[in-house]
Structure 1
Amino acid sequence: MNSVSMTGARKGKLSRTQLIVAATIGNALEFFDFTVYSFFALTIGKLFFPTMSSYGQLLASVATFGVGFVMRPLGGVMIGAYADRAGRKPAMTLTIFMMALGCMLIGVAPTYAQIGVAAPVLIVFARLLQGFSAGGEVGASTTLLIEAGTPA
């Protein structure tokens, strides 16, 4: 192949370094939300579970945090199957979009005082979506990084 056709073939593709950096940043952003949620567990408990005692609020907030982990295996299986069919990059894009959607839902969710019991239901749904996304992202990003690595 001459240099012109080689350049044309590589146009639109990320270099190996860019791919590794993008996957690493995406992975870091996915798990950043899990960390932020845990820092604000007390505040989330007070805003979304005000009818409970202070211990109940904390437990409900932490339980809401925990439901995200329940969805990880399902996300891993379903997004893994999608990644096998559509490719690793579309799967990574999907997981980042779903995590962003879950983050947005938590960020804009009205409190219990504003919409009642629908508020904690919305937060639980957002956490389920984030857990599903994180479960799918781990497998897709790991496989993408392995495939991008040079053979030994």
Structure 2
Amino acid sequence: MPTKTDHPDAPSRFTGSLVRRAQQRHLAVWQSEVSTEVTSVQYAALEILQRTPGVNQRQLGDELDVDRSTIADLVARMVRNELIERSDDPVDKRSYVLFLTSAGKKQLSTLRPRVEEVERILTAKLTPAEGRELRRLLSALLPHDD
């Protein structure tokens, strides 16, 4: 039986089109299951700060793979929303170190099971092995600093 990707002019034969559509689905599921206020990037920042409190803004941006202006905006928004706090870096006074606030820790623990549910929804039609393979293949598309 032919599929949508069999036709040579089908947009879904292009990886970029499928990645974009998958991202749109992820966003829709995220907003319905997790939050309309906390984005997946903000959630990732909360997880990183839970794991490594006191990282500086540049390190957080590197870990999230976002540029300097994006991380500055993200941090400012999260500080305004009282999810994280920043203070002067004791080593480099031109930089900030970041920590979760108690509200940020509470938000993280509230959101974590919902994020797990997003993962279950998005991969429901895949076997566990297929889910691991999908993540491996998507990671292979990303640039690596080897």
Which structure exhibits the higher relative contact order, with contacts defined as CA atoms closer than 8 Å and separated by 6 or more residues? 1
Richer in helix (by share): 1
TM-score (structure 1 length as normaliser): 0.28
The structure with more radius of gyration: 1
